[in-house]
Amino acid sequence: MDDDLFRRTVATLTAADPALAAITRAHGIPPLWLRDPGFASLVLFILEQQVSLASAAAAYRKVLARIGTMSPRALLAATPEELRADGVSRQKDRYLRALAEAVESGSLDLEALAGMPDDEVRARLTSLPGIGRWTADVYLLACLGRPDLWPVGDRALQVAVAEALGLEEVPDQARLEELGERWRPHRSTAARLLWHGYLSRRGRVETPPL
């Protein structure tokens, strides 16, 4: 996914869907937020689980300041006590160490993920403790730029869809999966537009959604 493809996909979606068109009319087209693929982004996604983006970013910065470079070897050299002092819970410490050990040992080849189909990337990542479908999906969407990802476990996306479609209730994951079918094969762009509407309505337009 690049800026040109993103804008062409936005045009396709908004021409076909009034709910998405209403978002761009009210709030414009969002930037194409992307993260660098690799270990550091997965660390940040794990830290973001079940906490605010600001809290996760603060913990990430503290860990990075302590270890100097966000590499598997550097992270493994830090003690659990040091990471807890930086805001990393015991559970997330275990998840981060499992990820770092997998990458350091070569059992998880992050560079190879770019050439794999979505389902295989998801299977490789979710085989590790602490990486579920949400983490795998947002890595595919935001780091690998895959065009048709739909992170049904993302609470902001659930609320965004309810608001955009005028639903009385926020959809659960199964219902969100069904609702997302209308935007195939461009669900990643649809998600970006819906997040943009969600953040803009809350005065957080400059905040990356992931």
* Residue pLDDT, tens place only, 89-142: 999 999 999 999 999 999 999 999 999 999 999 999 999 999 999 999 999 999
0.95 cut: is pTM over it?
no
d(C-alpha 94, C-alpha 138), whole Å: 21
Q: Where in the chain is the domain with CATH 1.10.340.30?
A: 39-142
C-alpha pair distances (Å), 196 with each of 28, 34, 161: 9, 14, 11
Residues in the chain: 210
Second-level CATH architecture of 3-33+149-201: Orthogonal Bundle (1.10)
Percent with pLDDT over 70 in the chain: 97
pLDDT at 210 over 70: no
Q: Where in the chain is the domain with CATH 1.10.1670.40?
A: 3-33+149-201
Average pLDDT over residues 1-26: 96
Question: What top-level class would CATH report for the domain 39-142?
Answer: mainly alpha
**pLDDT value at residue 207:** 59
